Chain A
Amino acid sequence: MIELSGITKSFNGGKPNQFTAVDNVTLNVNPGQITVFKGPSGSGKTSLLTMIGCMARPTSGRIFLHGVAAAVPFQQEGADAVEITSLPERFLNGIRRSTFGFIFQQFNLVKGVSALENVMLPAYPTGEARALFRARAMNLLEQFSISRLAGQRIELLSGGELQRVAIARSLINNPSIIIADEPTAHLDSKLSQELMAIVGGLKGEGKSVLIASHDPIVFDSPLIDALVEMRDGAVVASRSCR
């Protein structure tokens, strides 16, 4: 479970142009579910997800991750939750690598290298033997029916293929939580439906999926378990869809 307590994120603190992207959000995200953060641009969805994904720290408030204690060596024995907001950078990196998989709005794949290399990228600095994560990457490409494109440079792939490579990359380190930021923003309806089907499959594997989106195909999908509505950095409604 992910537990957010009074999370606030301000930029340009103390300056005339200070603004608050996330304002005092308190929320629980249940494990093994698809949770969608819905709201217009600038409502704070992406900022909230970056803080949950250990990419940025909140200005105030705390985030607790349950079930990731193994990634933090100094955690008290028996403690179930890790308070990530006060962790040093390298531990945050460790948690980010082992716990989270990211799917970005623009896919953010590295140009000029093959689809397989892109999928393997998050595993390179982990120190795991290459043969192991290469086999895993091939399995993922196979799972998404694009193994024939493994050696293909990503510039030559279609939008749908790019999307699958990006999803495969997010899964290479076998994370328990997938964070997707506006994943359908550049996809047509058919590909968006396809994406939701894949996301449903991930949930079936027991993974938690957090999606920021203002696309009805996402937030009206029958697959989602919880919907959090945001506006001006604050949570205006939060409900279970089950």
Chain B
Amino acid sequence: MKRAVERHLNILEFTLASLLRRRGKNLSLLVIYLLVIFMLASLVFFVSALKREAAIILNDAPDMVVQRLMAGRQDLVPAGYAAEIARIRGVTAVRPRLWGYYYDALNGANYTIMAGDDPATAPGLASVGAGVAKARNLAVGDLLPLISYDKTPLMLEIDTIFPNESDLIAADLIVISRADFLQLFNFPSGQATDLAVTVRNPKELPTVAAKIVSQFPDSRPVLKSEIQRTYQSIFDWRGGMTLMVLTAALLSFIIFAWDKATGLSAEERKEIGILKSIGWETSDVLLLKFWEGIVISLTAFLLGTVLAYGHVFFLSAPLFAQALKGWSVIYPRFQLVPVVDGYQLAVLFFLTVVPYTTATVIPCWRAATIDPDAAMRY
């Protein structure tokens, strides 16, 4: 056992000395390899973390949102629906919500405007997300003029700026009073954008949804699980799009690495012959090549993964943010909670380290099986 370990250590030692001989070539290969792993691992980390973040946020979302459709498009929901739905058995609360979008011509950003649930939200006051505050250079106590439907300005005083931690959901959010909301959009009173429905037993959600549809044929209940699924798909789709962009780089690397790993130069062949002639077995030569492949690919994998971890979780992935978070003037600024998907990392490992190492070992097989006496004739 000890001899076997010593044999591995000795051959690994020679592998390192051997790799250092072609320092420039191996270093450039390592850097490109590392870059590819870094990009892919960043993508994996970022998408996983975003999906988890979205899942956590959606945990606080209502069990069901009821919308109303008119000619296939979403329309306002009469407040009367809320009272009827609240009477369905199993429904604990129905909350009409008022919200909409506001285009700020000043900087081309879209804000989400919401009427506060708290009746105490006084008219004339507004709470804004950090993204809005930054875009409009606002501080608490400043005035924020919003242009209402009839082009008259609605002056709002900044009451609160949401902390950065809530950026993912609140970066572009402006919360105002119900009265200001109605005035800003000329929103008809007695109507809501949608209804947030809470159900006591989650297992009853499909039944309650079916009852709502039967009672109000023009309604569309959207379950929390459906929203969660949609978000997961969106992030998967964006991850896939980014991967497609990276594919070209990935393919170039594969061709480069394949060429480097499989091409055995005359000098390398001669070296293998020398090793065989001085008593190395075929398995020793293959072990040497195996360690060569492992040293390059594992170093690239480990370094690339660690760098990707720092890039995503400490620097908030500046390289991918725009492609993965979506396209917007106001980007949420937030620190992702570190989450590592072991399965995806394992897939990345098997798709990078294993093929490279195999591509290094296989072509040596033929060279390593030459008769040792060939070296006598060089």
Residues of A whose CB lies within 8 Å of any CB of B are: 46-47, 49-50, 55-56, 89-90, 93, 96-97, 102, 104-106, 108-114, 117, 121-130, 169, 173, 181
Contact = CB atoms under 8 A, between A and B. Distances in A.
Interface in B1-59: 2-4, 6-7, 9-11, 13-14, 17-18, 21-22
Interface stretch (B120-128, B318-326, B370-378): B370-378
A104 B284 contact: no
A88 B10 CA distance: 25
B373 A102 contact: no
Task: Tell me if B's interface is mostly helix, strand, loop or mixed.
Answer: helix
A118 to B, nearest CB: 10
Contact of A113 (B9, B21, B375): B21
A51 to B, nearest CB: 8
B281 A93 contact: yes
A28 to B, nearest CB: 22
Given A112-B21, A181-B376, A104 B6 contact: no
B13 A121 contact: no
B72 interface: no
B274 interface: yes
Contact of B11 (A55, A96, A124): A124
Nearest to B18: A113
A126 B278 CA distance: 12
B11 A125 contact: yes
A97 B277 CA distance: 10
A125 B3 CA distance: 9
A55 B373 contact: yes
Nearest to B4: A127
A54 to B, nearest CB: 8
Nearest to A114: B17
A124 B373 contact: no
Given A47-B373, A50-B372, A126-B7, 19 more contacts: A55-B373, A56-B372, A56-B373, A90-B281, A96-B372, A108-B378, A109-B274, A110-B271, A112-B21, A112-B22, A113-B14, A114-B17, A121-B278, A122-B278, A125-B10, A125-B11, A127-B4, A127-B6, A129-B6
B373 A104 contact: no
Residue in A46, A49, A102, A105 with the greatest tally of chain B CB atoms within 10 Å: A102
Contact of B14 (A93, A105, A124, A169): A124
Contacts of B271: 110
B226 interface: no
B275 interface: yes
